[in-house]
Structure 1
Amino acid sequence: MLKTDFLIIGSGIAGLTFAVKTARRFPDKTITILTKANTDETNTKYAQGGIAVVNDLEHDSFQKHIKDTLIAGDGLCNKDIVELVVKEGPDRVNEIIEWGTRFDKDKEGEYLRGKEGGHSEFRILHHKDITGFEMERALIEEVKKYPNIHIHNHWFVIDIITQHHLGFLVTKSTPDINCFGVYALNLQTGEIEKILSRITLMASGGAGQVYRTTTNPRIATGDGIAMVYRAKGRIENMEFIQFHPTALFEAGISPSFLITEAVRGDGGVLRNKDGEAFMERYDSRKDLAPRDIVARAIDNEMKRTGTEHVYLDCRHMDESKFKAHFPNIHKKCMDIGIDVMQQMIPVAPAAHYCCGGIKVNAIGHSSIRNLYACGECSSTGLHGANRLASNSLLEALVFAHRCAEDAAENIGRIDFNENIPDWNASGTTDPKEMILITQSLKELQLIMSDYVGIVRNDMRLQRAMRRIDLIHTETEDLYKSTNLSPQLLELRNLITIGYLIIKSAEFRKESRGLHFNTDYPEKSEMLQNIVL
């Protein structure tokens, strides 16, 4: 058994920021970070474009950023949350700069700012085309300065511990569900251990692996969202899965290599197989329309022309500037035989970001006491029905700060619960065939991609639910009878994520933002969040 004052699940920008702020405030308290892979293997690491922030009031304004976010969110953003994130953002970005993050500057020392889809001004700070990698690097270096922060790599959290594990019946209507810690599988020893905590932060990232094609790393299996749902916590807006319009098309390769939206911000043009710049037929903002519009446009062009991809044309762009701003994209393309100055880049949409998640309030409280959530696994109200490009890193910084501030006020009133039983694995055996797990995962990803992708309808959703129900039954039988493995745990979590996406999509009888249902092609007056 392990006891810790603060338990953080996930080591991306949200979790590490919370850890640093808490360690500074409480040098005498223990802060434990659990991650199922290496510390730096997170969605943060793969964020290319940058972080949206208004820190040049001469050319930009908070009101413009707020307006852009609300427009992208298609009526479902929480306006108060949008305002606080945009206005608190500059201070949080200044902090991470103080901790060593190096955003690109010009020769005069002024920050270089990019522009992406849905933004009315150039406000995206970036580090070449590996902004997330740079921010993660700086945060890990900062974390190392605090001896009371303990990082445990290769620990897979199985479930949140609540009153349910003490023998009480817990439902969604149960008042005051409490989080007492977690059960976690130590991947190095194979042992399942209980970890007691006074405060727990869920910062477990996204769920892109529920789809066959995604820009997310293999660890993005929606673990935190699934755990909170099983613990009877509130989840909302899971139908809004953002597909990034321009992932590099390589048949059979997953995860897909991301071609950041900043390439279009610098002048890249989308073209179909006939060489036509087609975006002007879909939106007056052309290639810099919000992602939901661009992804649907590409999807329609692919279906109309019978192709597996479209093209991103960068041949007219300045070669030296392209190499300076996008060195990794340039190298990746060259490695697979594409000279971006001579050839167009084949691109197609790929699952990229989960706009819904664990429902939290303005200070990161989930519906379960002593459990906070921030980052991609949370639903704060910032993104609404569609996330504005480069708002995710900003949201993570702002809410990590807010969670840390509130947790600091509450920690003194929370005690450990010493009555938690050990994990009971009696009656389980080693799995006889891993194909039972790997094949179910392939089936799940195909179901979600074919029936619950960019464009949906009621018949597809109903069929997907029937198929996923069978996979769920088979997987639960395995879970109850075999020793746990990370593969089985991830499959179980992804099935839950798939169910939540489908169920939320079934409830939304309209087309809004990232959710497009051909049976209900217009927006309705519902303007409400789907809470499960």
Structure 2
Amino acid sequence: MQSSHFDTLVIGSGLAGLTLALNLAETQRVALVTKRTLIDSASAGAQGGIAAVLSIEDSLEAHIQDTLIAGAGLCDETMTHYIVEQGPRAVRWLIERGVNFTRDAQNETGYHLTREGGHSMRRIIHSDDATGRVVQLTLTEQAVQHPNITILEHHIAIDLITSEKLSLHTQGSNHCYGAYVLDILAGEVYTIAARNTVLATGGAGKVYLYTTNPDVATGDGIAMGWRAGCRVANMEFVQFHPTCLYHPHAKSFLITEAVRGEGGLLKLPDGERFMPQHDERAELAPRDIVARAIDFEMKKRGLDCVFLDISHQPADFLIRHFPTIYNRCLELGIDITREPIPVVPAAHYTCGGIVIDRRGRTDIDNLYAVGETAHTGLHGANRLASNSLLECLVISLSAAQDIMDRPAVPAQSLPNWDESRVTDADEEVVISHNWDELRRFMWNYVGIVRTNKRLQRAQHRIRLLSEEIDEYYSNFRVTSDLLELRNLVCTSDLIVRSAMLRHESRGLHYSRDYSETLPRATDTVLLKS
């Protein structure tokens, strides 16, 4: 068994993890752990862009108000002010890093700003329709070249190492000292000790059968934080993106909100628009409203999908603004300049997560959480479009500064991973079967529209799966598939428990049994007993 020590261990390589690692690496030795390669993250698939007040025609107050309205009364106003106010500085950091955003000589900022659902102004800075990929590639190249960053690709964190697990007495508080990490290719478990540990593993979209998320989005950081003793908040608010491409050969391909921002219209198969009947903002309503409207129309009429039509815009405009979408659709036989795009809603973003403050600190000393893994309170009951990359940047920059400002804690001698009482699994088909069952019943019972009975059915199945997985975990050597399934079941349990505690419909959580919105908005906070 090998062990190593770093100043900071960053688990996850999306925008949040890369931003934090690059800032810390100027003064610290950083380990960056990622399950696949550095480019495999939800950040890389973000098409729309980053919401920030950059134009003189815009204002911080307008962005704040748009965020609060979309959040359905549940946003933390102090945190919302902080993140929005720090947005311009965060975007400038990316520009200084060399990120190539789309230019516009006609705009006083020098950059093209687009508009998305829920925004009152054009404030989304972007790189065509592949913003996340451009940002990710730019920062990845710099991380690879940095001498103080050790990159561990094809490694998955198993669990955090804390003072409570080690039965150490630390004056009443729980400390994090690092994590056990599985080298997926070698099958070896390593002990990584660190003065500070950061969870930046993204969300939990793979809990659901249909999602825009990459395969790595299995809720690892949320589950590890929960098992270690962190509070988790608002897990019932899972955002379903209204427009995922509906095609048998298109796996999780998102059609960015900017298509509707630039005039795209949602239509039924006969060409009739339906959004004006659901909301006065029509196609530019927040995502929860649009997703429920599509779900309603599909169920009412027995449709497999609806259609997003932007073919009325000039062809050169579409090819210039949406080259990724244009080319991908064309590969599948869909010419968006001439015909509508078939779309369906799909699980897209986890608004809840590990409770943190504006410095990224969790309930456990020397443990931070950033990005989609964390709950800041910015998104409330429904995330405003393109606020996610904004939050990643701002909180990661803040957390990096906090880590650098804190005095270094003494290195801790940590025990190696114990495999003395386990064997190789005899039937791994159990894992794939349980994975499939979980994602199907979560889609059917804990999706866009919920009921008490559906939630109870889901909870019952989760309990059975948890018992089976715990037994499997205790008796067999760990594999990446087992670890991901274990984390998905844990995260699913948190989603269902949170949903059962909310006796109202608000934002992304819609219950047929509690269709009204309560006059007072409160967070759903879970604390491990």
How big is each residue's C-alpha offset from its partner over 1:400-421, in whole Å with a ceiling of 9 and x where there is no partner? Answer: 11101111111x2411211x22
Residue type of the alignment partner of 1:30: R
Q: Is residue 333 from structure 1 mapped to residue 329 from structure 2 by the alignment?
A: yes
Q: Secondary structure at the match of 2:191?
A: strand
How big is each residue's C-alpha offset from its partner over 1:293-323, in whole Å with a ceiling of 9 and x where there is no partner? Answer: 0000000000010012111012211110100
Q: Is residue 280 from structure 1 mapped to residue 276 from structure 2 by the alignment?
A: yes
Residue type of the alignment partner of 1:160: L
Please list, as runs of the form range in 1=range in 2, the aligned pairs for 1:460-499 lying within 5 A after superposition.
460-499=454-493
Q: Is residue 260 from structure 1 mapped to residue 256 from structure 2 by the alignment?
A: yes
Offset of residue 342 of structure 1? 2.4
How big is each residue's C-alpha offset from its partner over 1:309-343, in whole Å with a ceiling of 9 and x where there is no partner? Answer: 11101221111010011111111111111111222
Match of 1:247 among 234, 238, 244: 244
Match of 1:228 in 2: 225
Offset of residue 433 of structure 1? 1.9
Distance in 2, Cα, partners of 1:108 & 1:339: 29
Match of 1:14 in 2: 16
Residue type of the alignment partner of 1:417: Q
Match of 1:387 in 2: 383
Please list, as runs of the form range in 1=range in 2, the aligned pairs for 1:79-478 lying within 5 A after superposition.
79-107=77-105, 110-167=110-167, 175-251=172-248, 255-410=251-406, 412-418=407-413, 420-478=414-472
How big is each residue's C-alpha offset from its partner over 1:148-183, in whole Å with a ceiling of 9 and x where there is no partner? Answer: 11111111100000123324699xxx9411101000
Q: In the comparison of the two structures, how many residue pairs are matched? A: 522
Distance in 1, Cα, partners of 2:469 & 2:323: 43
Distance in 2, Cα, partners of 1:329 & 1:38: 24
Residue type of the alignment partner of 1:345: I
Does the aligned pair in 1 maintain the 2:245–2:253 contact within 8 Å?
Answer: yes
Offset of residue 10 of structure 1? 0.7
Distance in 2, Cα, partners of 1:526 & 1:283: 23
Q: Which runs of 4+ in 1 moved over 6 A?
A: none
Match of 1:50 in 2: 49
Residue type of the alignment partner of 1:340: I
How big is each residue's C-alpha offset from its partner over 1:46-71, in whole Å with a ceiling of 9 and x where there is no partner? Answer: 000011111112x1111100000000
Distance in 1, Cα, partners of 2:51 & 2:142: 22
Distance in 2, Cα, partners of 1:65 & 1:392: 14
Does the aligned pair in 2 maintain the 1:210–1:498 contact within 8 Å?
Answer: yes
Residue type of the alignment partner of 1:202: L
How big is each residue's C-alpha offset from its partner over 1:231-284, in whole Å with a ceiling of 9 and x where there is no partner? Answer: 111111000000000000124x67410000000001110011232110001111
Q: Secondary structure at the match of 2:263?
A: coil
Closer, same or farther in 2 for the Cα pair 1:106/1:413, shift >3 Å? closer
Does the aligned pair in 1 maintain the 2:34–2:155 contact within 8 Å?
Answer: yes
Distance in 1, Cα, partners of 2:139 & 2:264: 32
Q: Secondary structure at the match of 2:165?
A: helix
Q: Secondary structure at the match of 1:142?
A: helix
Residue type of the alignment partner of 1:155: H
How big is each residue's C-alpha offset from its partner over 1:73-97, in whole Å with a ceiling of 9 and x where there is no partner? Answer: 0011011111111111101100111
Q: Secondary structure at the match of 1:469?
A: helix
Offset of residue 441 of structure 1? 0.4
Distance in 2, Cα, partners of 1:82 & 1:166: 37
| Aligned-pair identity (%) | 47
Match of 1:503 among 497, 520, 523: 497
Does the aligned pair in 1 maintain the 2:195–2:408 contact within 8 Å?
Answer: no
Offset of residue 21 of structure 1? 1.2
Structure 2, unmatched stretches of 5+, are none
TM-score if structure 2 supplies the norm length? 0.97
* Stretch moving more, 489-498 or 474-483: 474-483
Offset of residue 108 of structure 1? 5.4
Offset of residue 384 of structure 1? 0.5
Q: Secondary structure at the match of 1:180?
A: strand
Does the aligned pair in 2 maintain the 1:112–1:125 contact within 8 Å?
Answer: yes
Q: Secondary structure at the match of 1:233?
A: coil
* Stretch moving more, 138-147 or 215-224: 138-147
Residue type of the alignment partner of 2:65: K
Residue type of the alignment partner of 2:48: G
Match of 1:4 in 2: 6
Q: Secondary structure at the match of 1:32?
A: strand
Distance in 2, Cα, partners of 1:60 & 1:425: 58
Does the aligned pair in 2 maintain the 1:201–1:373 contact within 8 Å?
Answer: yes
Offset of residue 140 of structure 1? 1.5
Does the aligned pair in 2 maintain the 1:273–1:305 contact within 8 Å?
Answer: no
Match of 2:518 in 1: 524
Residue type of the alignment partner of 2:236: E
Residue type of the alignment partner of 1:134: V
Closer, same or farther in 2 for the Cα pair 1:165/1:255, shift >3 Å? farther
TM-score if structure 1 supplies the norm length? 0.96
Q: Secondary structure at the match of 2:371?
A: coil
Distance in 1, Cα, partners of 2:380 & 2:364: 22
Q: Is residue 41 from structure 1 mapped to residue 37 from structure 2 by the alignment?
A: no
Does the aligned pair in 2 maintain the 1:181–1:195 contact within 8 Å?
Answer: yes
Does the aligned pair in 2 maintain the 1:89–1:398 contact within 8 Å?
Answer: yes
Offset of residue 146 of structure 1? 2.6
Does the aligned pair in 2 maintain the 1:217–1:255 contact within 8 Å?
Answer: no
Distance in 1, Cα, partners of 2:426 & 2:34: 27
Residue type of the alignment partner of 2:61: Q
Does the aligned pair in 1 maintain the 2:242–2:287 contact within 8 Å?
Answer: yes
Does the aligned pair in 1 maintain the 2:318–2:337 contact within 8 Å?
Answer: no
Q: Is residue 72 from structure 1 mapped to residue 70 from structure 2 by the alignment?
A: yes
How big is each residue's C-alpha offset from its partner over 1:467-488, in whole Å with a ceiling of 9 and x where there is no partner? Answer: 1111111111111111111000
Q: Secondary structure at the match of 2:176?
A: coil
Q: Secondary structure at the match of 1:192?
A: strand
Distance in 2, Cα, partners of 1:169 & 1:30: 27
Does the aligned pair in 2 maintain the 1:213–1:254 contact within 8 Å?
Answer: no
Distance in 1, Cα, partners of 2:259 & 2:169: 52
Does the aligned pair in 2 maintain the 1:243–1:350 contact within 8 Å?
Answer: yes
Structure 1, unmatched stretches of 5+, are none
Residue type of the alignment partner of 2:77: K
Match of 1:60 among 54, 58, 61: 58
Does the aligned pair in 1 maintain the 2:237–2:352 contact within 8 Å?
Answer: yes
Closer, same or farther in 2 for the Cα pair 1:309/1:216, shift >3 Å? same
Distance in 2, Cα, partners of 1:254 & 1:209: 16
Distance in 2, Cα, partners of 1:342 & 1:362: 47
